Amino acid sequence: MPNSLLYFAATLIWGSTWLAITFQYGAVPASASVAYRFLLAGMLMLGWCALRGERLRLSLAELRWSAFQGVLMFGLSYMLVYEAEHHIASGLMAVLNSSMVLLNVLGMRLAFGRALDTKSLLGAGLGILGIALVFWPELSEVRGASSWLGVACGLGAALLASIGNLVAQRNRNLAVPLLPGIGYGMLVGGTTALLLTVLSGQPLVFDWRPQYLASLLYLAVFGSVVAFACYLTLMGRIGAARSGYIAVAVPIVALLLSGWFEGFVWRSWTFAGIACAVVGNMIMLLDVAGWLRKIGLARLAARLA
């Protein structure tokens, strides 16, 4: 599958999960919903791997690193996302999550010695600025202890997810089987959320309403199995820094869906923010330097190369 299709599949699916997650709120604790989602997703992923005849017996080291990835990426980070949205608006959570783009760039530098090139920094900066402009009304309403707790949870979720991306990059570099590694990681992440739900004294209840069941199935199959398989495959090809830009594109898709289903009001800074995000997207993912050389701007191209 070409990189562009992997990118757009993950972006479109995750953009729709913001809407699907709203059907998860209710009687079931947020951490329990995370547990149900990733336990189901892990079983489905490993079942798919078995049907494809992939190697399911991983070495102890491979299992350990897949579990570490799962705790960070599928367990703790998602629990913090759900907790953050109890205190702040989902738009602000989108802004905080977009910081993962810059965290990935810095993380690749610290963990793998990847150079901090102008292209990545400029693209990441424009992306974060664009998302901030889109959700500026929600940003301006952050006040009070509850809101700042939500901000802390949102930033913590982005940081843990970024570290999880670096672990995933390490696993790809050492040829840990991709899909089985994801499957085991999801089981460990789901188990982590389940244990923390029990230890915190929250009830392990389940919601049998059709809305909850349908959203859980969608989040497990598409939002977890399909989207993470696309994203981590893309990351193995182009690196965590560039693939992480999906964190900027996803809120834009969510915004379009919100406008369609929830009557989101578009303002001037909404369009300005989307423009910044699109330009940043082009800088991160396209050969802008080659295009600039073709039109005679070789010096500027050299800075972005």
Q: What integer pLDDT is reported at residue 293 of this predicted model?
A: 52
Q: Which two tokens stand for residue 251?
A: 């809120």
Is it the case that residue 266 has pLDDT exceeding 80? no
User: Distance between CA atoms of 216 and 231, rounded to whole angstroms?
Assistant: 20
Residue ranges per structural domain of the chain: 3-304
Residues 6 or more apart whose CB falls under 8 angstroms from that of 66 comprise 58, 171, 176, 180, 181, 182, 184, 185, 188
Q: Could you give the C-alpha distances from 18 to 78, 82, 162, 252, 262, in angstroms and in order?
A: 12, 11, 19, 11, 12
- What is the per-residue pLDDT across 222-257, written as a single tens digit (0 to 9) for each? 999 999 999 999 888 877 767 777 877 787 777 777
Is residue 300 over pLDDT 60?
A: no
Residue 262 above 70 pLDDT? no
CA distances from 251 to 12, 90, 111, 156 (A): 10, 10, 27, 18
pLDDT exceeds cutoff 60 at 43: yes
Choose among 65, 34, 101, 70: nearest CA to 228. 70
Whole-number average pLDDT of the chain? 83
Least reliable range by pLDDT among 76-80, 154-158, 185-189, 260-264 = 260-264
Please, how many CA atoms are within 13 Å of residue 23, restricted to the half-sphere of its CB?
17
Per-residue pLDDT at 260: 66
Residue 166 to residue 104: CA distance in whole angstroms? 8
- The single-letter code of the amino acid at 194 is L
pLDDT of residue 304: 46
Residue with the two structure tokens 């729709």: 16
pTM score, whole prediction: 0.81
Residue entry with tokens 């990545």: 120
Looking at residues 180-197, what average pLDDT do you find? Answer: 96
pLDDT exceeds cutoff 50 at 147: yes
> What is the pLDDT confidence band of residue 164, given thresholds at 50, 70 and 90?
very high
Q: pLDDT tens across 194-229, in order?
A: 999 999 999 899 999 999 999 999 999 999 999 999
Token duo for residue 234: 């893309």
Residues of the chain above pLDDT 90, percent = 38
pLDDT grade for 191, boundaries at 50, 70 and 90: very high
In this predicted structure, the answer to whether residue 303 has a pLDDT above a threshold of 60 is no
